[in-house]
Amino acid sequence: MSLTDTSVRNAKPRAKPYKIYDSGGLFLLITPSGNKWWRLKFRYGGKEKLLSLGVYPEVTLKEARVRRDQEHKNIAFDVDPSMHRKAAKLAKADSHKNTFEIVAREWFEKRSSIWAGTHSEKVIRRLEVDIFPWVGRRPVGEIKAHELLDVIRRIEKRGAIDTAHRALQNCGQILRYAVATGRAERDCTADLRGALSPIKEGHFAAITDPKAIGGLLRAMDAYNGNLVTRCALRFAPLVFVRPGELRNAEWAEIDLKKAEWNIPADRMKMREPHLVPLSRQAIQVLEELKPLTGKGRYVFPSAISSQRPMSENAVLGALRRMGIGKDEMSGHGFRAMARTILDEVLHVRPDYIEHQLAHAVRDPNGRAYNRTAHLPERRKMMQNWADYLDKLRKQK
């Protein structure tokens, strides 16, 4: 006689374990402690065997029958249910040992030994921040192209197009390593060719390697041109504004006591006013220059007339005279330098960086943040950035 929900629920424990039977070899084992275990008795290869199907009430009578019927189908296809169960457990255990993060770190360990230290740091930081939190725990052999694209799109949406392409490239290298070591069937990144926004050609040259930045700063300190140009060179990396915003800076916009530079909307690319917190080092540059240009309108006036700002080629010309080629560094390059180092070395939140770069950043409701958004955090960021540049400047 088949079991019912009532008979299963009302089965009471006895002094010794006992069984109540359903059909097709399914029965319920009731222990003296009151536990109720579903068991399936079956024959395979001429031998009688038992298989556990779960515990009541987590597994109901209906669910136990479904599991029983599935095991009968396995037997019909000459599959031993007990061996199938063991194989499934082993496969699951292997998948946990071969997550994307585990395989990625193994790949990184083997490759990083031949990389420069700064490159290694960038690669592992990129993976830890932008990839592992989303797919790090997934079995490497189960990752699909669409879910990897969703992860890369997160990077792309914050405007870091180059970083998105590099992250996808790293993921492809990791997946190909997984294929080579027998832990994945194929590299799914091959299906994502053309899926990302292209990297803009002709981007502004920038020095982003910390050691090279140190050399650039020392070269700028040693520049023997006029004081206005020397100060502009030293000021540019500290504030990383656009070249036009730098050369048109006016003393009326700068508050040395508050350590702030308020750039009006009509001089900003996005036509929004912009506030630049000034580090101690930036203030020192301005205080050095003020006796010379402080009575005029412009912080960095033209060498020809104090009524005009310095030439747009003044900083570029100084860089070229120092022997720094146009394919190495540009006026805009200080922005790329700051963005890269703040993100990949100093680990500053991307939205703080984007605010300070005067890029369009919106809140969760789609509204543009005002110029003072995250100001305390940005003040700290700008001072840490200036201190970091001093550290690089002193390193040999």
Cite the active site residues. 242, 269, 332, 335, 359, 369
Query: Which amino acid makes up residue 124?
Result: I
Tokens of 100: 């994307």
The C-alpha atoms of residue 89 and residue 62 are separated, in whole angstroms, by 24
Query: Which amino acid makes up residue 165?
Result: H
Mapping DSSP onto H, E and C, the string for 71-84 reads: HHHHHHCCCCHHHH
Owner of token pair 């500053």: 348
Owner of token pair 């109540």: 20
Q: Which of 334, 335, 349 is nearest to 381 (CA)?
A: 349
Neighbours of 153 (CB within 10 A): 13
Give the HSE-up count for residue 326: Cα atoms under 13 Å, Cβ half-sphere.
Answer: 5
C-beta separation of 242 from 335 below 8 A? yes
| 391 burial level (CB within 10 Å; 0-12, 13-18, 19+) | exposed
The C-alpha atoms of residue 309 and residue 244 are separated, in whole angstroms, by 10
Q: Which of 56, 137, 40, 36 is nearest to 95 (CA)?
A: 137
| 373 burial level (CB within 10 Å; 0-12, 13-18, 19+) | middle
Report the length, in residues, of the chain. Answer: 396
Question: Which three-class secondary structure state does DSSP give residue 49?
Answer: strand
C-beta separation of 387 from 346 below 8 A? no
| 180 burial level (CB within 10 Å; 0-12, 13-18, 19+) | exposed
The C-alpha atoms of residue 396 and residue 62 are separated, in whole angstroms, by 74
Question: Which three-class secondary structure state does DSSP give residue 141?
Answer: helix
From residue 123, how far is each of 89, 104, 143, 213 by CA, in Å? 34, 11, 20, 19
Tokens of 104: 């990625």
DSSP designation for 75: H
